[in-house]
Amino acid sequence: MIGIRGATSIEKNEKDHIIERSIELYNKIIENNNIKNIIAILCSVTPDITAFNPITAIRKEFKLSTVPLMTFQEAMFEGSKEGIIRFLILCESDTQNFIFLHKAKELRKDLLESFTDSI
């Protein structure tokens, strides 16, 4: 079992926008990985995302009624970005390609910079 991460951003706290971005992120993760069996999906959202639960969009759109799904509120720290939806798909797969879309691409840049600084 492995974990495949993904993140996206929203520009407005509106149900349709959250649904659109959540479905887009999940599709990109599936397209870019050879997932054989999904064990569970964890989702985190920043505290400013309140209009709709992204994991509900995924459950309905992809008919994941038998997969355990859970959403958490992301902890916020100094410099944390707002409007971020993150997925962690626990699965059986022979690939592990993480996907970062829209403003969430900046998260990878920040992560790589902090990793390089600590070496």
pLDDT value of residue 103: 87
| Mean pLDDT estimate for the chain | 90
**DSSP secondary structure code for residue 102 in this structure:** G
CA torsion 62-64-69-73 (nearest 10°) is 20
Mean pLDDT of 50-66: 96
Distance CA 12, CA 111 (A): 25
Kindly list the structural domains of the chain, giving each domain's residue range(s) and its CATH number in brackets, ordered by start.
2-118 (3.30.1330.40)
Q: Is the pTM of this model over 0.95?
A: no
Residue 54 token pair: 């992204």
**DSSP secondary structure code for residue 77 in this structure:** -
69-73 and 35-45 beta bridge pairing: parallel
CB 101 within 8 A of CB 8: yes
pLDDT value of residue 109: 65
